[in-house]
Amino acid sequence: MANALRVLAMDAVEQARSGHPGMPMGMADVATVLFTKFLRFDPTDPAWPDRDRFVLSAGHGSMLLYGLLHLTGYPGLGIEELKRFRQLGSITAGHPEYGHTPGVETTTGPLGQGIATAVGMALAERMLNARFGDGLVDHRTFVIAGDGCLQEGISHEAIDLAGHLCLDRLVVLWDDNRISIDGATSLSTSMDQQARFQAAGWHTETVDGHDGCAVEAAIARALAAGKPTLIACRTVIGFGAPNKQGSESTHGAPLGAAEIAAAREALGWTAPPFEIPADIATAWRAAGRRGAAERARWAERLEASPEAPRFRQALSGELPLEVFAALREHKRTLSAKAPSLASRKASELALEAINGATDLTVGGSADLTHSNLTITKGLETVQAGRFGGRYIRYGIREHGMAAAMNGIALHGGLVPYGGTFLVFADYARGAIRLSALMGVRVVYVLTHDSIGLGEDGPTHQPIEHLAMLRATPNLNVFRPADAVETAECWEIALRSRATPSVLCLSRQNLPTLRTRDSEENVCGRGAYVLREAAGERDVTLLATGSEVELAVKAADLLAADGVEAAVVSMPCWELFERLPAEERRAVLGTAPRVAVEAAARLGWDRWIGEGGAFVGMEGFGASAPAPALYQHFGITPEAVAQAARSVMRRTS
């Protein structure tokens, strides 16, 4: 049965003239044991909530996964799709893509992401188990990881967190083949991985990855270990290719016709490409039916459970209407009271409303809880053995946090949000990108969003980060100007089922500018006229977040000079882009435009046009109190007013 996986991988890579045969051939035996003896799944219902999760962290070995999905009978994965491996429009992409192929639990390829995402899945499983009990939630998360996954830094964050939380239903099968792209792993690492995982509180096993019985026994011990487990599977990369196996030449290129023929010979495989002998195909189909009865029993338990409505609601991903009602009421209060609040504080208030109205949201922070203001009243900390809580101490691990949130969102049943400083979006970039690529609802609460953070200085002051995030497809980047906008942005983030959100929030206080309550979620337009000019516009001032206040003050200065300025708040460019062109034009107006944002200019020219001006940062920040920095870098109402006068002259 394992040879079927090997041959499919060889043949599909050869046909595509592109791909990675080495890993599937090396791990075929391990995967066969896992899928025929342990993994609980049912190809007729790939989304069965209590299925085991399987994550191919070494995503380049995608043909291993496609082979498994094909042989066990997943829908849509007929042999024709395998023949179209890596071709346009196929569901057999170069790396496994979530949402693209049934049975693919998460997108992998960027190394280490899979294992870190799996930590989130395993955590979500325990958290849902604590809420719904063994009868409804009782599954495992299995990972196949390669040397690259374990060399990447994110793996450290992931295994430390998993060990700390004692996620004993997580099993990582490490393809210990001692080969990476450049050659022997001994070129670049001397790590004792077993000792390293033990140091993080994991159970470890070491087996011959081509000895099915040994692998089976090791997995069985892992399931009883009471800790997360690493199984080091000693394998030969490209196993079965007689002249190339054990060498990096099998890693990322087709084996070639001659070597494939030799491998068929060596493996005793006589069937032509893409044909599986009937007995082997039958055995695999039987493996694919192993879970059906269990799923049926589970479905009966769910039917009989008094928790069924609550469980279904959680798994549906729909937040209860109470959340939005609470936010609506909260917004009304804010407009009436018009407090002066940092937008991070406004976010905390919004979260009080949200978390009070649902228990589906789970918060956390990368060790900046009282800076990000991500915890609300009554949220208990999640700890090993105490998974009923709703607040995750992610530690000083931004990348691991982001990937874990991806895993929680993918698992289903919970809505994750987590905080760090905006500047440390850098550290989480790899996983934020995957949030966007997969289209999962993860909310990043990124505070201290400009030089306004003050004394910590340029290492902590984001400059290019708004541009970096705005350039990312399918990511909503919010920078609310006041508490009302913050509440609206939170609402949009929670309603965006297929798009992650970033909330960029100030450290410093901001006045409430939206003092007139509105039924509409105005931020849903992305940008809007916060304050129209009294007469015909002489100039339009564009701003986001903490700089909207500056734009309003600049408009006051200009008005005193008889210049009519409108102020446009632009909390979310992505949403504004989606407005019909004429609505966008109405907001931006035909008068010359000045933008102000305490960040890099890149991207703003789209809104200010060639005649416009930008007031913002031209280099890195500095260490000083925030008001001194705004003065120093010339981001002031006076500077905005002056820029307005200058663009008016230029165009008149």
Q: How far is the CB of 121 from a copy of itself (least distance, A)?
A: 18
**Closer of 328 and 601 to a copy of itself (Cβ):** 601
Backbone dihedral angles phi then psi of residue 140, each to the nearest 5 degrees: -120, 165
Contact call for residues 24 and 63 (beta carbons, < 8 A): yes
Kindly identify the residues of this chain, within the stretch 88-107, that bind a copy of itself according to CB under 8 A: 88-90, 93-95, 97, 107
Site residues for a copy of itself, window 345-374 (CB under 8 A)? 365, 367-371
Nearer to a copy of itself, 212 or 526 (CB): 526
DSSP code for 458: T
Burial annotation 60-74 (CB, 10 A radius, 16+ → b, else e): bbbbbbbbbbbbbbb
Q: Name the token pair of 407.
A: 């895993």
Residue 389 among known ligand-binding residues: no
Within residues 564-603, the interface with a copy of itself by CB under 8 A covers 600-603
At its nearest, how many Å lie between a copy of itself and the CB of residue 22?
A: 14
Show Cβ contacts of residue 158 under 8 Å, excluding neighbours closer than 6 positions.
112, 115, 116, 118, 119, 400, 403, 404
Please identify, among the stretches 176-184, 262-270, 407-415, 516-524, the one whose residues bind a copy of itself according to the rule CB under 8 A: 176-184
Please state, in angstroms and rounded to a whole number, the distance separating the CA atoms of residues 422 and 544. Answer: 15
Taking residues 600 to 619 in sequence order and writing x for each that binds a copy of itself by CB under 8 A, - otherwise, the string is xxxx-xx--xx------xxx
The CA–CA distances, whole Å, from 373 to 41, 65, 364, 409, 554 equal 40, 41, 10, 21, 31
Known binding residue 210? Answer is no
Q: Rank residues 256 and 457 by Cβ distance to a copy of itself and give the closer one.
A: 457
Q: Which of 126, 331, 399, 479 binds a copy of itself (CB under 8 A)?
A: 399
Which one-letter DSSP state was computed for residue 34? I
Q: How far is the CB of 472 from a copy of itself (least distance, A)?
A: 5
Closer to a copy of itself by Cβ: residue 370 or 377 = 370
∠ CA 214-217-204, nearest 5°, is 90
Using the structure block, give the residue that is written with the tokens 């609402």: 491
Distance CA 527, CA 523 (A): 7
| Count, residues in the chain | 652
Cβ-based nearer residue to a copy of itself, 209 or 616: 616
- Taking alpha carbons only, the member of 150, 159, 146, 142 closest to residue 33 is 142
Q: Is 3 annotated as a binding residue?
A: no
Q: Which of 312, 386, 632, 650 binds a copy of itself (CB under 8 A)?
A: 632
Which of 397, 399, 393 minimizes the C-alpha distance to 433?
A: 399
C-beta closer to a copy of itself: residue 51 or 95: 95
Non-local (6+) Cβ contacts of 514 within 8 A are 334, 335, 481, 482, 484, 485, 522, 530
Binding to a copy of itself by CB under 8 A, coded x per residue (else -) over 22-61, reads -------------------------------------xx-
Least distance (Å) between residue 325 CB and a copy of itself: 32
d(CA 417, CA 494) in angstroms, rounded, equals 10
Q: Is 433 in the site for a copy of itself (CB under 8 A)?
A: yes
460 is in an annotated binding site: yes
Q: Is 424 annotated as a binding residue?
A: yes
For residue 411, say whether it is annotated as part of any ligand binding site: no
Among residues 102, 133, 135, 201, which is the contact residue for a copy of itself, using CB under 8 A? Answer: 201
Segment contacting a copy of itself by CB under 8 A, of 29-37, 318-326, 427-435, 481-489: 427-435
Residue selected from 271, 280, 308, 628 as contacting a copy of itself according to rule CB under 8 A: 628
Tell me: is residue 371 an annotated ligand-binding position.
Answer: yes
Looking at residues 493 to 512 of the shown chain, list those that interact with a copy of itself (rule: CB under 8 A).
none
Residue 177 among known ligand-binding residues: yes
- Near a copy of itself in 287-346, by CB under 8 A: none
448 is in an annotated binding site: yes
Nearer to a copy of itself, 310 or 601 (CB): 601
**3-state class (DSSP) for residue 582:** helix
Restricted to residues 374-393, the positions that interact with a copy of itself (CB under 8 A) are: 381, 393
Task: State which residue, 566 or 608, has the beta carbon closest to a copy of itself.
Answer: 608
- With CB under 8 A as the contact rule, the residue among 269, 311, 394, 490 that binds a copy of itself is 394
Helix axes 483-495 and 321-337, enclosed angle (nearest 10) = 170
Of 110, 118, 88, 82, the closest CA to residue 9 belongs to: 82
- Sign of the dihedral through C-alpha 25, 26, 29, 32: negative
478 annotated binding-site participant: no
Q: What burial class does residue 290 get, using C-beta atoms within 10 Å of its C-beta: 0-12 exposed, 13-18 middle, 19+ buried?
A: middle
> What is the rounded distance in angstroms from the CA atom of residue 391 to the CA atom of residue 56?
28
Residue of 105, 398, 547, 597 marked active site: 398
Measured distance CA(463)–CA(616) in Å, rounded: 9
Comparing CB distances to a copy of itself, the nearer of 370 and 516 is 370
Region 209-268 residues binding a copy of itself, contact defined as CB under 8 A = none
Q: Is 110 annotated as a binding residue?
A: yes
Tell me the C-alpha distance between 235 and 246, whole Å: 9
Closer CB to a copy of itself, 139 or 465, in the complex: 465
Q: Looking only at residues 437 through 476 of this chain, which bind a copy of itself when binding is defined by CB under 8 A? A: 437, 454-460, 463-464, 467-468, 470-474
Do the Cβ atoms of 635 and 581 come closer than 8 Å? no
Is 464 among the catalytic positions? no
> What is the Cα–Cα distance from 475 to 399, expressed in whole angstroms?
17
Compute how many residues bind a copy of itself; rule: CB under 8 A: 107
Q: Which positions from 139 through 158 interact with a copy of itself, judged by CB under 8 A?
A: 147-148, 151-157
**Which of 190, 279, 303, 306 lies at the binding interface for a copy of itself (CB under 8 A)?**
190
Query: Could you give the CA distance from residue 544 to residue 550 in angstroms, rounded to a whole number?
Result: 10
Strand ranges inside 280-408, DSSP E? 341-342, 361-365, 391-393
Quick one: 28 or 595, whose CB is closer to a copy of itself?
595
Nearest to 12 by CA among 90, 109, 89, 74: 90
Strands (E), 466-538: 476-478, 501-505, 509-510, 528-531
Q: Is 541 known to sit in a ligand binding site?
A: no
> Is residue 386 a known part of a binding site?
no
User: Binding segment for a copy of itself among 350-358, 499-507, 508-516, 622-630 (CB under 8 A)?
Assistant: 622-630
Among 180, 250, 450, 540, binds a copy of itself (CB under 8 A): 180
CA 393 from chain centre, in angstroms, equals: 18
433 marked ligand binding residue = no
Annotated binding residues for substrate, written as ranges, equal 20, 251, 344, 371, 448, 456, 460, 507
Annotated binding residues for thiamine diphosphate, written as ranges, equal 60, 109-111, 148, 177, 251, 424
Q: Please give the positions annotated as active site.
A: 398
Annotated binding residues for Mg(2+), written as ranges, equal 147, 177, 179
Annotated binding residues, written as ranges, equal 20, 60, 109-111, 147-148, 177, 179, 251, 344, 371, 424, 448, 456, 460, 507
